[in-house]
């Protein structure tokens, strides 16, 4: 497939890029700073752009089969590029006629907050309040689009390997005091598995390691 990755220099985004290339996909990475993506491959095209500058998004979106958006803010901060950048991305997809959009969100957004274990709720309400607020706006924009979307809400992310052993669901129960984790590699693997499946379209699913 022709796949655009937005947020390719982040941990999860880079995993998507590397695994997609390993699977034989043609990948376009939209980045502000190419030096932050030290990946070289004949099937990789790096496009310099900024999601807050709509005119730089459209050239990257054209002729893609799907878009994976892995924009994220930092703990203690509210990065407006997450919500506004996603809105710009959706607009560019409409203009280019591209329908399939997968977005990496977070546990704690929407209904998943009530289902989160207590330690996660405390972390969300303190260190992650800014990023979660941005993710709420981002998810709203995605839901209100007429795209074929999938929202993935991972639990605490790690740098572990691909295992493909995870729990997944729109409503996922957790033990009260658990500290659920999942590797960025597993999140990326799940997203790529969905490229040729419609089973989870128009859903916001929580994903965590077993």
For the chain, how many structural domains are there in total?
1
> Would you say how long the chain is, in residues?
210
Q: Answer yes or no: pTM beyond 0.75.
A: yes
Is the pLDDT reported for residue 74 higher than 70? no
Confidence band, pLDDT 50/70/90 cuts, at residue 73: low
For residue 141, the domain's CATH number is 3.40.50.720
- Give the pLDDT score at 133: 92
Domain boundaries, position 109? 2-209
Provide mean pLDDT across the span 171-192. 96
Provide mean pLDDT across the span 12-25. 98
Mean predicted lDDT score pLDDT of the chain: 95
State whether residue 181 is helix, strand or coil: strand
> Residue 173's CB: how many other CB atoms inside 10 A?
9
Beta strands of the chain (E only): which ranges? 2-6, 26-31, 44-48, 66-69, 100-104, 148-154, 156-158, 166-169, 181-183, 203-209
- Give the pLDDT score at 80: 79
The Cα–Cα gap between 121 and 108 comes to 7
The Cα–Cα gap between 149 and 164 comes to 22
Burial class for 55, CB neighbours closer than 10 Å (0-12, 13-18, 19+): exposed
- Give the pLDDT score at 35: 96
- Give the pLDDT score at 77: 45
């Amino acid at each position: 497939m022709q796949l655009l990755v937005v947020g390719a220099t982040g941990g999860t985004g880079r995993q998507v890029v590397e695994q997609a290339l390993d699977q034989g996909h043609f990948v376009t990475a939209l980045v502000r700073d190419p030096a932050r993506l030290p990946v070289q491959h004949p099937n990789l095209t790096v496009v310099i752009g900024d999601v807050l500058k709509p005119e730089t998004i459209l050239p990257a979106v054209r002729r893609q089969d799907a878009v994976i958006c892995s924009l994220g803010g930092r703990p203690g901060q509210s990065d407006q590029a997450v919500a506004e950048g996603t809105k710009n991305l959706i607009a560019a997809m409409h203009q280019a006629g591209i329908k399939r959009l997968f977005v990496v969100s977070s546990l704690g957004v929407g209904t998943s907050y009530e289902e989160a274990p207590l330690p996660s709720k405390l972390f969300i309400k303190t260190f992650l309040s800014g990023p979660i607020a941005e993710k709420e706006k981002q998810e709203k924009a995605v839901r209100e689009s007429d795209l074929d979307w999938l929202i993935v809400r991972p639990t605490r992310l790690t740098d572990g390997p691909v295992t493909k052993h995870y729990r997944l669901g729109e409503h996922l129960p957790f033990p009260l005091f658990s500290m659920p984790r999942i590797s960025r590699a597993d999140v990326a693997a799940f997203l790529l598995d969905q490229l040729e499946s419609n089973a989870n379209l128009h859903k916001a699913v929580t994903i965590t390691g077993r």
